[in-house]
Amino acid sequence: MAIDRKKCVLCGKCTEICLNDANELIGKEMTASQVMAEVMKDKIFYETSGGGLTVTGGEPSCQAAFSLELLTLAKDAGISSAIETCGIGARDFYEKAADLGASFLYDVKCINPVRHRILTGADNAQILSNLCYLMDRGMDLIIRLPMIPGCNDSDADIAALAAFLQEHKCRYRYAQIMPYHALGTGKSEKLGVSAAFVHDNATDAEKNRWQSLFASYGIDVKVSQ
């Protein structure tokens, strides 16, 4: 089945009548209050586990007003909150999120600005500046290192990341490698678009090499599964 996405208005009627579940609607528009009402259903779980609300994406800073409203509602409800971010949002967003007491799961992909631009299409000056701002404020930070084999995992790239982490040691809770996985390929297929990037999942050997290289610079990093 092929869908002409220019004409589709996302009414969902085709998903209701198909006997083979060949198509499905994923996601729906909600207000921050509606999202919070869902979150509150698990309040007892948060109280016993110490967990909370994580605003993720996409990129929360791209929907700054919504994200900040959600963080405000969480704070008012006494639920701890965190943001997963690539760090490229406006400083104002991070200032306000920090004022609301959020923790940050903060991606650092590449330290070399020229290589960062080649790999992502964007400069990393704002990203590193926002990160240092949050460090200066003493915010709770987990630095995440998305590692893609053959892209940002050369010896030089890892040496630069390790030097950055060494320079800022004790200003973040821990650093964690996020190994590349190919799950996005399936999403692209479902959306009927060709994946912007295709690569095999990172292997155990690659993960071990990354972790060992960081360790050789005295940097202890976790590795996400």
Could you list the beta-strand ranges (E) of the chain: 53-55, 81-85, 103-107, 141-147, 174-179, 221-223
CB-CB contact of 213 with 157 (8 Å)? no
106: nearest Cα among 32, 152, 173, 182: 173
For residue 13, which amino acid is it?
A: K
Rounded to an integer, what distance in angstroms lies between the CA atom of residue 176 and that of residue 222? 5
**Minimum CB distance to ligand SF4, residue 20 (Å):** 14
Query: Does residue 192 bind ligand SF4 (CB under 6 A)?
Result: no
**Minimum CB distance to ligand SF4, residue 27 (Å):** 13
Joined tokens for residue 122:
């964007």
Other beta carbons within 10 angstroms of residue 50's beta carbon come to: 8
Query: Does residue 191 bind ligand SF4 (CB under 6 A)?
Result: no
CB-CB contact of 120 with 108 (8 Å)? no
For residue 29, which amino acid is it?
A: E
Piece in contact with ligand SF4 (CB under 6 A), picked from 10-18, 44-52, 202-210, 211-219: 10-18
Rounded to an integer, what distance in angstroms lies between the CA atom of residue 173 and that of residue 223? 14
Piece in contact with ligand SF4 (CB under 6 A), picked from 11-19, 56-64, 119-127, 173-181: 11-19
**Minimum CB distance to ligand SF4, residue 193 (Å):** 16
Piece in contact with ligand SF4 (CB under 6 A), picked from 3-11, 108-116, 191-199, 214-222: 3-11
- The one among 1, 9, 67, 109 contacting ligand SF4 by CB under 6 A: 9
**Minimum CB distance to ligand SF4, residue 173 (Å):** 43
- The one among 1, 2, 6, 11 contacting ligand SF4 by CB under 6 A: 11
Near ligand SF4 in 12-51, by CB under 6 A: 12-14
**Minimum CB distance to ligand SF4, residue 11 (Å):** 4
Query: Does residue 10 bind ligand SF4 (CB under 6 A)?
Result: yes
Provide the 8-state DSSP code for 58: S
Judged by the rule CB under 6 A, the positions of this chain that interact with ligand SF4 are 3, 8-14
